[in-house]
Amino acid sequence: MICAISGEVPEEPVVSKKTGHLFEKRLVERHVEDFGKCPVTGEPLTMDDLMPVKTNKAVKPRPLQAASIPGLLGMFQIEWDQLMLSHFALEQQLHTARQELSHALYQHDAACRVIARLKKERDEARTLLTLAERHVPLPASTTANDSTFNNGKRAAEDVNMDHDGKRSLPGISADIIADLTDCNTLLSQQRKKRQIPSTLAPVDALERYTQLSSHPLHKTNRPGILSVDIHPSKDIIATGGVDTNAIVFDRTSGQILSTLSGHSKKVTSVKFVPKDDFFVTASADKTVRVWQGSEDGNYNCRHVLKDHIAEVQAVTVHATNNYFVSASLDSTWCFYDLTSGSCLTQVGDTSDGDGYTSAAFHPDGLILGTGTSQANVRIWDVKSQSNVAKFEGHSGPVSAISFSENGYFLATAADDGVKLWDLRKLRNFRTFAPYDSNTSTNSVDFDHSGSYLAIAGSDIRVYQVANVKSEWNCVKTFPDLSGTGKATSVKFGPNAQYLTVGSMDRNLRIFGLPGDSAEE
C-alpha cells in the first residue's frame, strides 16, 4: 500500500470513504485543514470522510543504497540531480513570468499613448468648438458687458458684428500696407549700403568672453526666466518669468527698474518698442499686455488684449514700431495696432491643428515667420496674410526663430537642434545638433549685424555666420548650465559687445569681456 501523497508506505494509513484513495494520516489531515478537498481528485473532503486502516506494524528495511558509502553517495547524487532539475524548472517559470510582465508593461505603455493621443484630439476638438462658438450669433439678451464685447481697452469698431454674427475686424487697410511697403523699401535700400560697424566685437574678443554677472531677478517659489529682450537704444534688459511677472533691469547699475505684475500665468515673451517707450508681454493666461513707461521709471498697463483662446507663446514687433503680432497655441496670429491696441486682423490655419509656438518679423517687415507645435515653420505674406512657404524637418515644437539682418537666412530651434534655412531657395542648408536627445535647443538669436548666431540649451554656443556653402564655426561655448538650470533664452547686446542669457534657475547671466562690465 502506497500513500497517494508521498508515494511511500504510510506509517498510519487512512482511506477516503468518497474516493477510496489511501493516504498518510498526518499528511492528508494537514491538506484537508488547509484546502478542504481531496489532494488527488479535488473533491470536497472532511476529516469525517477519512477512515483509519488497521495494518500490522512492520519494521521498514533499510534501503539498499543506505547500506554502504557508495550507495549513500549515489543517493546524494540523485537528490542533487533532482534539485538541479527543480532549479531549472523554477528558472523557466521565472523567464515566463518576466515575459508576461514585459508584455503587460508594453500594453500599459501603448494604452497610455492612446490615452494621450485621445486627450490631444479632445483638446483640439474643444479648441475648434470654441472657435466655432465665437462665430455663432449671440442671443438678444447678451449685453455690452459680456466679456466677448468688453475688454476695457479695445476701440469700439473692433467689436462690431457683421450680418453672419462673426466678429468684424478692420483688417490691414491700404494705408497700413503703404506704411509697411514704405518701411520695406527704406530698409532694403539701407541694407545694400550698410557696412559692418567698426564697434562690432571681433571673433577674438568673443573667444575671451566670460560671465560678468548673474542676477536672480524672479521669485524663488516659481523660478525660471522664459524670455529676454534688450532695448535697442538703452542699456536695459527685460525678462519674462514663470512667476507671472516681467522685470525691467538696468545693466549699468545692476538694479531692477520696474516689476510688471498683472498676468495670472507665466510670461512667455517680452519685447521692447523704442517708440513712445512701449513694452509688450505675452502670457499663458491667453492675454497680451501693452505697457508704457512713465517718467518715474515704472511701466503702466495701457491695453489688455484678449483675442486668443489659448496660451500666447510669442510677440514680435514690426520695424515701423507701429504694429506687432502675437502668436498663440489656438492656431492663430493677430496683427495689432500698437497705439490703440486694436486687433486689425486675426489669421487662423487649423488645417493641420498646429498651434504657434514662436514668431518673428523679417527685418524688412513684409514677411512673418511662425514656428508650430508640430515641428513646422510657416512663412506668411503680411500684406495678404497668406501662407507663402512651409519648412518641414524639425522634430518637436519649434521653440524659437530668428531672421538674419541680411534678410537671406532664417534660424529655427527645436528639440533636435537648430536648422538654417535659405530664404532665397526655400531650403535647409545646415543643421546644428549640439545636445543629446534629452536636451532641446530653446533659443536662437542672430546679432543685429548678422555676423554671429547664438543658440541656447544646456549650454550657450556662438557661431560665426558664413554663407550657404562655407562652414559656420563655433567660436565660443559658454559653461554647461544643466546643473543650475537650462538656458531658455539668449540675446545679443548692441554690436555683440555682450550676451544675455535667461535660465530656469531664475538667473539673468551677462557674458562679455572681463573688465568691460557695465558696473565698472
Residue 146 pLDDT: 42
As a whole number of Å, the CA-based R_g of the chain is 37
Do 299 and 443 belong to one domain? yes
Q: 41: which 3 cell numbers?
A: 481528485
The domain spanning residue 403 has which CATH number?
A: 2.130.10.10
Question: Rounded CA gap, 364 and 189, in Å?
Answer: 10
CA distance readout (Å), 510 to 66, 199, 240, 507 = 88, 19, 16, 10
Say which residue, 396 or 240, is predicted with more confidence. 240
Instruction: Indicate whether 254 belongs to any domain.
Output: yes
Instruction: Tell me the CB-side half-sphere exposure of residue 208, using CA atoms within 13 A.
Output: 9
| Domain CATH for 42 | 3.30.40.10
Q: Looking at the domain assignment, is residue 302 inside a domain?
A: yes
pLDDT band at residue 515, thresholds of 50, 70 and 90?
A: confident
| pLDDT tens, position by position, 266-289 | 999 999 998 888 999 999 999 999
Gap between the Cα atoms of 100 and 107, Å rounded:
11
Share of the chain above pLDDT 70, in %: 88
In a domain, 118, yes or no: no
**For residue 422, what pLDDT is reported?**
92
| Residue 201 placed within a domain | yes
Residue 463, strand partner residues: 453, 474
Is 442:415 a contact under the CB 8 Å cutoff?
no
- Residues 86-96 as b/e (b if ≥16 CB within 10 A, e otherwise) read eeeeeeeeeee
pLDDT for 230: 95
Mean pLDDT of 19-44: 87
Q: How many CB atoms lie within 10 A of CB 282?
A: 33
Which band of pLDDT confidence, cut at 50, 70 and 90, is reported for residue 89?
confident
Report, as an integer, the average pLDDT of 122-130: 82
Is residue 161 included in any domain, yes or no? no
Range of the domain at 38: 13-58
Choice between 302 and 132, residue whose per-residue pLDDT is larger = 302
If one compares 187 and 517, the residue with the highest pLDDT of the two is 187
Q: Residues 192, 48: one domain?
A: no
Residue 62 has pLDDT above 80, yes or no: no
Q: pLDDT grade, residue 145 (50/70/90)?
A: very low
Res. 442: pLDDT tops 80 = yes
Q: Summarize the confidence of residues 16-42 as an average pLDDT.
A: 87
Which cell goes with 361?
518679423
Residue 187 maps to a domain: yes
Three-point CA angle 380, 385, 390, nearest 5°: 30
- 301-358 per-position pLDDT tens digit: 999 999 999 999 999 999 999 999 999 999 999 999 999 999 999 998 756 668 999 9
Q: How many CB atoms sit inside 10 A of residue 328's CB? A: 26
Nearest Cα neighbor of 215 from 255, 248, 179 is 255
| pLDDT exceeds cutoff 50 at 44 | yes
pLDDT band at 295 (very low <50, low <70, confident <90, very high): confident
pLDDT reported for residue 485: 66
Domain count, the chain: 2
At 99-117, the pLDDT tens digits run 999 999 999 999 999 999 9
Average the pLDDT over each of 133-147, 225-239, 314-328, 417-431 and give the range with the smallest value.
133-147
pLDDT mean across residues, the chain: 85
Percent of the chain with pLDDT over 90: 49
Residue 104 lies in a domain: no
Q: Which pLDDT band, with edges at 50, 70 and 90, does 497 fall under? A: very high
* Pick from 511, 506, 328, 314: nearest CA to 413: 314
End residue of a domain, out of 43, 58, 73: 58
Give domain status of residue 4, yes or no: no
> 231 and 371: one domain?
yes
Dump the DSSP string for 428-447: EEEEE--S-TT----EEEE-
Give 200 or 518, the one with higher predicted confidence. 200
